Structure 1
Amino acid sequence: MSTDSTERRKAWTTIAIFLVIVTGLSAVFHYAIVNLNPTSLYVGPLMWCPALAAFATLAIRGRKLSSLPWRWGKWRFNLGAFATPILYVAIAYGLIWGLGLGGFPDPETLAEWAGETGLEVSTPVLIAVMVVLIGTIGCIRAASTIIGEEIGWRGFFVWELRKVMPFGAVALFSGVIWAFWHWPIVVFYGGGEAWLQMSAFTVMICSMSVMMTYFTFKSGSLWPAVCFHAAHNVYFDKLFNPLTSDAGNTALWAGEYGLMMPAVTLVLAVIFWRKAKAEGL
């Protein structure tokens, strides 16, 4: 057997070990979230399952934790990764508000924010304050659990896939696995047509995977993915979506399972895919 074939076989074995472990670990917390209570008590550990699976796989394969891409890397990749989700979330919700698919701003959210901050200020000032607070401190807090996912998915998994696949296949395959990993929660807590929500969510996740894989390979670091993931979760779930009021059919377009985010992220994914090809990734 050639050296190349041997290395590919070793990589596929490593990938299989990781997927078996992450599936087994995650199943425990998926069960708890679905059947017991979807609190941070279970969500936090679930998000650390990919990292624990990566650590266990490294131990089984006789490799060191230091082999993971821990270095911070160049600032431009981390900042670019942080800014990209803010851009596509802003575009998606700008379209939703501009086309009348959802209202802006949501009065209930503004009242809640005013109560939380204790500020009696104009709406633009209140929104600006919350963007500063949630968009910075919120991202730092979110990173404490997000890093568990990213150590596993972008710190370990995509690098193993890269040994046996080109960039596009790595991005899509890891994206599909990442989407499947979320599916139990989508099915049980989506609150709508499961097939439509799962399809929309999967397109969004796979599109995000293309962008995150690009930043990961360009930087040689897992930190851009952490920055990207934190910005996506916070600006999407904590800022833009709460500021959107129902206009009658808003749920079809907005939110984690709506149609607008997959559409916008898909366009950006094509752009990043072409950049990766042009840059030899």
Structure 2
Amino acid sequence: MAGFKTRLWLFIGLTCLTTAPFWALGIATGDSAGGKGAYAVGSMWGPGIAALLTCRITGQSVSSLGWAWGRSRWQVLSYLWPLAICCVTYGLVYAVGLGGFPNHETVVALRKTLDWPSAGTWTIVCGWFVLLATTGFVRGLAASLGEEIGWRGFLNPLLHEKLGFTRGALATGILWAVWHFPIMFFSNYDSATPWWFSTPCFVVEVLSLAVIMSWIRMRSGSLWTGAIAHASINLFNQAFFAPLTVSRGPITSYMIDESGVVLPLVLLVTAVFVWSKRRSLGETGPSAARAKAAFTD
């Protein structure tokens, strides 16, 4: 099997190559989620396809990427902790009056989309939440799995083995964040606030997510924890809380979603807590053995 640097640079190169067509479409049209979401799904599968190709080319076993489901408690946790993060984030925003809930314009649009013309506001809100949390989650998981085969399946264990937990998680997060930059700077992704504000917020968010998701990935041995958490935070933040938040003026955009400051700060606090538990991964035992096995198959 090829060495560390060969696998790393091949993965990075292939990720750029497989994502580039969808970046180009998003930049040319000005809509990173254009084609009714096809551009976004295509780009999200870029890292996954790159990981599979890298394994094929270098002789690394595809089974080493962490396909095993593992203990269900890790999967349940990966679904719930992003929801808890969103509840804390938006609860803080609402509590201090920087946003309100629910946004009646969004409710009107949802009433039309759902074709529930006689339903009351809270029926719409609760019904939409249930639909997102079930069937919406399945659809989101199909997209997030593409990224997570790459980031948590291939890259995270590779860097963890070489650099250890802290540097490996942060390096994964840096590459994950930079991968978003073309559509952030040249299309409309994360564009609710000026780039000089949204970019630091986004980078802090992604680095924090990388630490949390890396810890669970290495503890569980399963890339599904990353896919579930990725789908969950996208779902509850982008499809539920953010659009249902009432603006209290220009300040609201600077507080909510990925382009605002509160979500990254809540994630940062959570990441520091998780980082303090890094020694529980240990240098021996099942999680370390699984990480090592990924490079000896």
What is the TM-score normalised by the length of structure 2? Answer: 0.88
Q: Report matched runs for 1:210-225 at 5 Å.
A: 210-225=211-226
2:264 corresponds to: 262
In 2 relative to 1, CA 147–239 (structure 1 residues): closer, same or farther, beyond 3 Å?
A: same
Q: How large is the Cα RMSD of the aligned pairs?
A: 1.6
Question: Is the 1:103–1:245 contact (alpha carbons within 8 Å) kept by the matching residues of 2?
Answer: yes
Q: Show structure 1 runs of 5+ residues with no match.
A: 1-6
Q: Secondary structure at the match of 1:137?
A: helix
Q: Secondary structure at the match of 1:88?
A: helix
Q: Which amino acid aligns with 1:82?
A: Y
Q: How many residues align?
A: 274
Q: Secondary structure at the match of 1:162?
A: helix
> What is the CA–CA distance in structure 1 between the aligned matches of 2:219 and 2:192, rounded to whole Å?
38
Distance apart, 1:119 and its partner CA: 5.3
Question: Is the 2:193–2:253 contact (alpha carbons within 8 Å) kept by the matching residues of 1?
Answer: no
> What is the CA–CA distance in structure 2 between the aligned matches of 1:228 and 1:42, rounded to whole Å?
21
2:276 corresponds to: 274
Q: Report matched runs for 1:184-195 at 5 Å.
A: 184-187=182-185, 188-189=187-188, 190-195=191-196
Question: Is the 1:102–1:250 contact (alpha carbons within 8 Å) kept by the matching residues of 2?
Answer: yes
Distance apart, 1:28 and its partner CA: 2.5
What is the TM-score normalised by the length of structure 1? Answer: 0.93
Moved more, 69-78 or 107-116: 107-116
> Aligned pair 1:80/2:77, yes or no?
yes
In 2 relative to 1, CA 278–63 (structure 1 residues): closer, same or farther, beyond 3 Å?
A: closer
1:114 alignment partner, one of 111, 114, 122: 111
2:149 corresponds to: 151
1:165 corresponds to: 163
Once the two structures are superposed, residues 6-50 of structure 1 have per-residue CA deviations (whole angstroms, 9 ceiling, x without a partner) of x9x911221111111112222232121111353123221111110
> What is the CA–CA distance in structure 1 between the aligned matches of 2:57 and 2:119, rounded to whole Å?
57
1:42 corresponds to: 39
> What is the CA–CA distance in structure 2 between the aligned matches of 1:79 and 1:243, rounded to whole Å?
25
1:12 corresponds to: 5
Once the two structures are superposed, residues 48-94 of structure 1 have per-residue CA deviations (whole angstroms, 9 ceiling, x without a partner) of 11011111111111223223211111100000011110011110000
> What is the CA–CA distance in structure 1 between the aligned matches of 2:255 and 2:85, rounded to whole Å?
14
1:4 corresponds to: none
Distance apart, 1:221 and its partner CA: 0.7
Distance apart, 1:116 and its partner CA: 2.7
Q: Secondary structure at the match of 1:215?
A: helix
